[in-house]
Structure 1
Amino acid sequence: MHFRHASDIWRDFPALSAGILHAEGIHRDVSVDAHVAAFEAAAKARLAASSEAEFPEIQAWRRAFSRLGLKPTQYRSASEALLRRFRNDGSLPRIHPVIDLCNAASLAFAIPIAVFDLSKVADHLQVRYASGSEIYTTFSGETEHPEQHEVIFADEEGRAHARRWTNRQSGYSAVGSETTAVLIVAEALHPGGEVGVRRLVEQLETAIRAIWSVDPRSAILNGSFPRFDF
């Protein structure tokens, strides 16, 4: 299996940096409370100084969504949506330990993170422009087809595992109680984004190793090194 961004994504968004983590041996019977608390404390400190809309990480995704023809206040990156909810509610709902950990890391770094159950992905996962024929399954089980030229995460069978790039993942490959292997993808578009992505991946890798006693593999992707094999 492999993960990559299509060449025209790198061409159109040359500032893109992506951090990838592959981990096996994931299960629910762990506590991530200490790591989540540390990430949330960092997010609270930053939100105390300014709103998420002022963060350069969020502004970069808003510009990208506008460029793709999306209203950035209607379709928000996953990190912006999480930060807004966290600022308003003071906490995030608990879903699954690996999701809770990645959501908290996304808050701390203001960088969107996607987590996929690899048992639901066919052969590879590619970030590319949609043809419009791909199949996307919502969390309620409904079927949608992405718009033409929409940025999606797609596999070999033409299944879209995320729509509008970092806006919304699919319920089909969402992490659940039976998940054992995950692919974690963090993406940034702001100036200096690779530094933040690298720090995020390092901290997540350390946390996953400590929590699940597994040895994840990771990589930082850019236009010169666009593919991760696992």
Structure 2
Amino acid sequence: MQFRHSDAIWQAFPELRAGALYLDAIHADADVETAIAAFSTIAEARLSLAQEGEFPEIQAWRRGFSRMGLKPTQYRSASEALLRRFRQEHGLPRLHPLVDLCNAISLAFAIPIAAFDTEQITGDLEVRRAGGHETYLTFGGEIEHPEVNEVIFADGAERAHARRWTNRQSGLSAVRQQTRSVLIVAEALHATAGEDIGRLVATLSEALAHHWAVQPKTAMLSLASPRFEF
């Protein structure tokens, strides 16, 4: 199985930096609360100085959404949505230890992180422009079709596992109690994205190894090396 961004995405967003991790020994019994508290403290300290909309990581995604023809205050990157909710509610709901850990690290880095149950993905997964015929399953169980040219995570069965790039994941491949194998993707567009994605991947890899006792396979992706095989 492979994960990649299409050449067209790299060409349209040359500032993109991405990291990917794969782990095949996930379970829902890990205790990640101490780690969540530590990463949340980092986010709280940063939010005490400025709101998330002033962060360069968030501003870069807003510009990216504008270039995709989206209103950035109507459709927010996942990291901005998490930070906004965290600032307003002083916490996030618990969903699954892996998802909760990824969300906390996303808060600390202000970078969107997506986690996919690979058993629900057919063939390879590619970030590309949509043709408009692909199917997307909402968390409410409804079927949608992405807009033509919308950036999606598409698999070999023409199913969209995320819409509007980093805006919204699909309910189909969401991590659940029975999930065992996971692909995690982090993407950024800001000026220091390469350095920050590298730190994020290292931080997340260490946390995954600690809590699930398995070293994940990792990769840094670029136009020159766009594929992650796992």
TM-score normalised by the shorter chain: which range applies? over 0.9
The runs of 5 or more residues in structure 2 that have no matched partner are none
Provide the C-alpha distance between the structure 1 equivalents of 2:13 and 2:190, rounded to a whole number of angstroms.
11
Provide the C-alpha distance between the structure 2 equivalents of 1:215 and 1:26, rounded to a whole number of angstroms.
11
Find the counterpart in structure 2 of residue 33 from structure 1: 33
Find the counterpart in structure 1 of residue 100 from structure 2: 100
Find the counterpart in structure 2 of residue 9 from structure 1: 9
Aligned residue-pair number: 230
* Cα RMSD, aligned residues only: 0.5
Q: How does 1:183-198 map to 2 (within 5 A)?
A: 183-198=183-198
What is the aligned-residue identity percentage? Answer: 60
- Give the CA deviation at 1:20: 0.3
SS of the residue corresponding to residue 49 of structure 1 reads: coil
Provide the C-alpha distance between the structure 1 equivalents of 2:224 and 2:54, rounded to a whole number of angstroms.
30
- Give the CA deviation at 1:192: 1.3
Find the counterpart in structure 2 of residue 22 from structure 1: 22
- TM-score (norm: length of structure 1): 0.99
SS of the residue corresponding to residue 29 of structure 2 reads: coil
The runs of 5 or more residues in structure 1 that have no matched partner are none
- Residue identity in the other structure for 1:105: I
Find the counterpart in structure 1 of residue 83 from structure 2: 83
SS of the residue corresponding to residue 126 of structure 1 reads: strand
1:97-119: CA deviation from partner (whole Å, max 9, x where unpaired)? 00000000000000000000000
SS of the residue corresponding to residue 186 of structure 1 reads: strand
Q: How does 1:65-214 map to 2 (within 5 A)?
A: 65-214=65-214
- Give the CA deviation at 1:193: 0.2
Moved more, 31-40 or 73-82: 31-40
Provide the C-alpha distance between the structure 2 equivalents of 1:145 and 1:41, rounded to a whole number of angstroms.
39
Provide the C-alpha distance between the structure 2 equivalents of 1:84 and 1:160, rounded to a whole number of angstroms.
25
- Residue identity in the other structure for 2:41: A
Q: Structure 1 residue runs of 4+, over 4 Å off? A: none
Provide the C-alpha distance between the structure 2 equivalents of 1:209 and 1:114, rounded to a whole number of angstroms.
18
- TM-score (norm: length of structure 2): 0.99
1:5-39: CA deviation from partner (whole Å, max 9, x where unpaired)? 00000000000000100001100011001111111
Q: How does 1:53-68 map to 2 (within 5 A)?
A: 53-68=53-68
- Give the CA deviation at 1:223: 1.4
- Residue identity in the other structure for 1:13: F
- Give the CA deviation at 1:149: 0.2
Provide the C-alpha distance between the structure 1 equivalents of 2:225 and 2:55, rounded to a whole number of angstroms.
27
Provide the C-alpha distance between the structure 2 equivalents of 1:35 and 1:194, rounded to a whole number of angstroms.
24
Find the counterpart in structure 1 of residue 228 from structure 2: 228
